[in-house]
Chains A and B, each alone.
Chain A
Amino acid sequence: MAMMAPFLKYGTFGEETSLVLAFLIGIGFGFFLERAGFGSARKLVSQFYLNDLAVFKVMFTAIVTAMLGVTYLGWIGWLDLSLVYLVPTYLLPQVVGGLILGVGFVVGGYCPGTSVAATATGRIDGLVYVLGIFAGMFAFAELYPWLKGFYLSGSGEALTLPGTFGLPYGVVVFAVVLMAVGGFYGAGLLEKKFAATGE
């Protein structure tokens, strides 16, 4: 009981400290994105040519690592998962939002996080992408009164996979691990197949 996570909710530290920590974690995130080669649009878009699926692998690895970590920390009682914030689910608007982000990813060659990492290393295309993000945010904010109805359509509940499918939490964890390992194997095959014709 001495140290229980989430630290902020348990009052281990305050709002200010959490901002400092968020900054440090952000720096770490950017550093590893850059070290993974994700500061380059070339590396990122080869995902869509199927000759280098590093993005898929890195992201799925992150999901599996975090999922196993959270599961085990919760299991041994160091983390109260019921206090971890879940983003409310607005299914249709979020699907549309995901598609818009995907189109932006293909066209611009970055996703929001990697564009900042690219800008930090002085890439002009990254900087243009970041400016595009801010232009999009500004446009969205200005159009919000018209978009609000759609933006908040749906239940707004925080849906989870175990809850939606009525499966025990552990079963979903194992299924996601299987999916990841299967996905990595499949990604390897795809990379081999498209390596020659990729460029």
Chain B
Amino acid sequence: MPGWFSRLTLTQKLAAAALALGAVALFASPYPGTKVTLDAKELALIVGTEADHVEATELAAWIIESRADYRLIDLRTRAEFEQYHIPTAVNIPMNVLTEAGLGRQEKLVLYSEGGIHAAQAWMLLRAQGYRSAYMLKGGLDEWKDQVVFPVFADNAGPDERARDERRRSISAFFGGQPRSAAAVAAGSDALPGVAAPVTPAMPKVAAPSTPSGTAKPPAKKKKEGC
């Protein structure tokens, strides 16, 4: 220790230490910023074991049961959200996702129109240490096809019929209607056939969910039915 330093009083030494730390801090930034790190092995494991997503039918069951241990996040734009969203969802567009004050341990279910934006957002959140982020598999498209407008085979066996009955009631709960496979096939092309009933009917679904904010009131009614 140089002589001049040992001649300083304790207060002066502390002041010198603070100055030194402050000078080094010139190059510091305590905010993690936009750079993130990824544990490639961990991510690969999660994706490989399919522990990264929730199925549409699974989510439908959660909503009907009024489960509250997760947060459903709609990543689309405000306008798209207002036109239709899955009941109980909150709208947090991609660009403000990491500033939305979500808990690192909170169970988050992300969805977008297809699956791409949700997957990107999922990666982003995982990289920033959100441990319990999940995507809705297939996004809103699969939600429509599996839950709201499910397709049934016309020549279903008894086992399938029982399962179809449950799917029918789930579909009705979310304001949709089942379609028969024959009707879908009757359309000139499978894809427009799917799109046709979906587009005009969707606002109808939004109507009951928007004023109440959540799907809780209808959820209770339906539970008795199930």
Q: Does A80 contact B (CB under 8 A)?
A: yes
Q: Tell me the complex Cα distance, A81–B103, Å.
A: 14
Interface-side segment among A69-77, A95-103, A190-198: A69-77
Interface-side segment among A40-48, A107-115, A120-128, A166-174: A166-174
**A173 and B25 contact, Cβ closer than 8 Å, known pairs A74-B30, A180-B18:** yes
Is the pair B32, A68 in contact by a Cβ cutoff of 8 Å? no
Interface-side segment among A3-11, A133-141, A142-150: A3-11
Is the pair B30, A11 in contact by a Cβ cutoff of 8 Å? no
Chain A facing B: main interface SS: helix
Distance between A132 CB and nearest chain B CB, rounded to angstroms: 35
Is the pair A75, B105 in contact by a Cβ cutoff of 8 Å? no
Closest to B104 in A: A10
Is the pair A77, B32 in contact by a Cβ cutoff of 8 Å? yes
Q: Which of B11-67 contact A (CB under 8 A)?
A: 11, 15, 18-19, 21-23, 25-32
Q: Tell me the complex Cα distance, A111–B45, Å.
A: 55
Q: Does A82 contact B (CB under 8 A)?
A: yes
Is the pair A181, B28 in contact by a Cβ cutoff of 8 Å? no
Interface centre among B15, B28, B32 (most CB of A within 10 A): B28
Is the pair B31, A169 in contact by a Cβ cutoff of 8 Å? yes
Is the pair B15, A184 in contact by a Cβ cutoff of 8 Å? yes
Out of A75, A174, A181, name the residue touching B29 (CB < 8 Å). Answer: A75
Is the pair B103, A170 in contact by a Cβ cutoff of 8 Å? no
**Inside 8 A of A73's CB, which chain B residues have their CB?**
30
Q: Tell me the complex Cα distance, A4–B18, Å.
A: 25
Distance between A84 CB and nearest chain B CB, rounded to angstroms: 10
Is the pair B31, A81 in contact by a Cβ cutoff of 8 Å? yes
Q: Tell me the complex Cα distance, A70–B25, Å.
A: 11
**A64 and B18 contact, Cβ closer than 8 Å, known pairs A11-B105, A74-B30:** yes
Out of B18, B27, B30, B105, name the residue touching A81 (CB < 8 Å). Answer: B30
Interface centre among A68, A70, A77 (most CB of B within 10 A): A68
Q: Does B129 contact A (CB under 8 A)?
A: yes
Is the pair A168, B18 in contact by a Cβ cutoff of 8 Å? no
Q: Tell me the complex Cα distance, A79–B26, Å.
A: 18
Q: Tell me the complex Cα distance, A10–B104, Å.
A: 6
Is the pair B19, A181 in contact by a Cβ cutoff of 8 Å? yes
Closest to A172 in B: B25
**A171 and B18 contact, Cβ closer than 8 Å, known pairs A80-B32, A82-B31:** no
| 13 A-B contacts (beta carbon < 8 Å) | A1-B129, A10-B105, A10-B129, A64-B18, A71-B28, A71-B30, A81-B30, A83-B104, A173-B22, A173-B25, A173-B26, A174-B23, A177-B19
The 10 closest A-B pairs by CB, nearest first: A74-B30, A177-B22, A11-B105, A173-B25, A170-B26, A75-B28, A174-B22, A81-B30, A170-B28, A170-B25
Query: Told that A9-B104, A68-B18, A75-B28 touch, could you supply 7 new A-B pairs with CB distance under 8 A?
Result: A74-B30, A79-B30, A80-B129, A169-B31, A174-B23, A181-B18, A184-B15
